Chain A
Amino acid sequence: MKRLFGILSVLALVACSSNNCPLENIVTCNYHFYDREGVAIKYGDTFTVTTLLPGTKTVYIYRKLGYTTVTVDRPDTAYTNAGYTETIATARRDTVLINKASNRSYVQVPMSYYNKADTLVFAYSSISRRDTIIVQHDAYPHVELPECGTHFYHNLRSIRATDAAIDHVEIVNPLVNNEKKENVKIYFNGVVE
Chain B
Amino acid sequence: MEWLSKVLLTTLLLLSVHTMGAQDEPIVILNETDTIRPTKYIAPLTEKPKLALFQGFTLSADILGPIIYLFSDYGSTEAALRLNLKNTYFPIIEVGYGKCKSTDVETNISYSTSAPFFRAGIDFNILKNKYMDNRLYVGARFGLSSFKFDMSGPNMTDPIWGGSSPYSYHDAKSTSSWMEFVFGVQVKIWRNFHMGWSVRYKQELHIGQPSYAKPYYIPGYGTTTDTSCWGGTYNLIFDLNWGKRKVKSGE
Task: Tell me the A residues contacting B by CB distance below 8 Å.
Answer: 20, 51, 53-54, 95, 97, 110, 112-115, 118, 140-150, 152-153
Q: Mark B60-72, 1 if CB is under 8 A from A, else 0.
A: 0000000000000
- Provide the residues of chain B in CB contact with A147, threshold 8 Å: 104, 106-107
Inter-subunit contact B211/A140 (CB<8 Å): yes
- Provide the residues of chain B in CB contact with A150, threshold 8 Å: 107, 109, 153-154, 156, 167
- Provide the residues of chain B in CB contact with A20, threshold 8 Å: 225-226
**A147, B107: Cα distance in complex, Å:** 6
**A112, B165: Cα distance in complex, Å:** 13
Interface SS, B side: loop
CB neighbors of A among B154-186 (8 A)? 154, 156, 158, 160-163, 165, 167
Closest chain A residue, CB of each to CB of B106:
A147
CB neighbors of A among B81-111 (8 A)? 102-104, 106-107, 109-111
B216 beta carbon closer than 8 Å to chain A: yes
- Provide the residues of chain B in CB contact with A144, threshold 8 Å: 214
Shortest C-beta distance, B174 to chain A (Å), equals 13
- Provide the residues of chain A in CB contact with B154, threshold 8 Å: 150
Shortest C-beta distance, A147 to chain B (Å), equals 5
Given contacts A115-B161, A143-B212, A146-B103, 16 further A-B contacts (CB under 8 A): A53-B161, A54-B161, A95-B160, A112-B161, A113-B161, A113-B163, A113-B165, A140-B212, A145-B224, A146-B102, A146-B110, A147-B106, A150-B107, A150-B167, A152-B158, A153-B211
With contact pairs A95-B160, A112-B158, A114-B158 given, residues A146 and B216 touching in the complex (Cβ less than 8 Å): yes
Shortest C-beta distance, A55 to chain B (Å), equals 9
- Provide the residues of chain A in CB contact with B151, threshold 8 Å: 143, 146
Shortest C-beta distance, A161 to chain B (Å), equals 20
**A152, B211: Cα distance in complex, Å:** 10
Max chain A C-beta neighbours (<10 A), residue from B153, B154, B162, B163:
B162
Shortest C-beta distance, A191 to chain B (Å), equals 35
**A51, B104: Cα distance in complex, Å:** 34
Inter-subunit contact B107/A149 (CB<8 Å): yes
Inter-subunit contact B160/A51 (CB<8 Å): yes
Inter-subunit contact A145/B225 (CB<8 Å): yes
Shortest C-beta distance, B153 to chain A (Å), equals 5
**A53, B159: Cα distance in complex, Å:** 11
Max chain B C-beta neighbours (<10 A), residue from A143, A146, A152:
A146
**A152, B111: Cα distance in complex, Å:** 18
Closest 7 CB pairs of A and B: A112-B161, A114-B163, A113-B158, A146-B109, A146-B104, A149-B107, A20-B225
- Provide the residues of chain A in CB contact with B158, threshold 8 Å: 112-114, 152
B213 beta carbon closer than 8 Å to chain A: yes
Inter-subunit contact B109/A110 (CB<8 Å): no
- Provide the residues of chain B in CB contact with A51, threshold 8 Å: 160-161
**A44, B160: Cα distance in complex, Å:** 27
Closest chain B residue, CB of each to CB of A140:
B211
Closest chain A residue, CB of each to CB of B161:
A112
Max chain B C-beta neighbours (<10 A), residue from A110, A149, A152:
A149
Inter-subunit contact B107/A142 (CB<8 Å): no
Task: Provide a sorted-by-A list of 14 A–B residue pairs whose CB atoms are within 8 angstroms.
Answer: A51-B161, A110-B160, A112-B161, A112-B163, A113-B161, A114-B165, A141-B167, A142-B212, A142-B213, A143-B109, A143-B213, A145-B214, A145-B225, A150-B167
Inter-subunit contact A141/B225 (CB<8 Å): no
- Provide the residues of chain A in CB contact with B111, threshold 8 Å: 146
Max chain B C-beta neighbours (<10 A), residue from A113, A115, A118, A142:
A113
Closest chain A residue, CB of each to CB of B151:
A143
- Provide the residues of chain A in CB contact with B109, threshold 8 Å: 143, 146, 149-150
Inter-subunit contact A141/B212 (CB<8 Å): yes
CB neighbors of A among B200-214 (8 A)? 211-214
- Provide the residues of chain B in CB contact with A149, threshold 8 Å: 106-107, 109, 153
Shortest C-beta distance, A112 to chain B (Å), equals 4
Shortest C-beta distance, B35 to chain A (Å), equals 55
Shortest C-beta distance, B223 to chain A (Å), equals 9
Q: Mark B100-132, 1 if CB is under 8 A from A, else 0.
A: 001110110111000000000000000000000
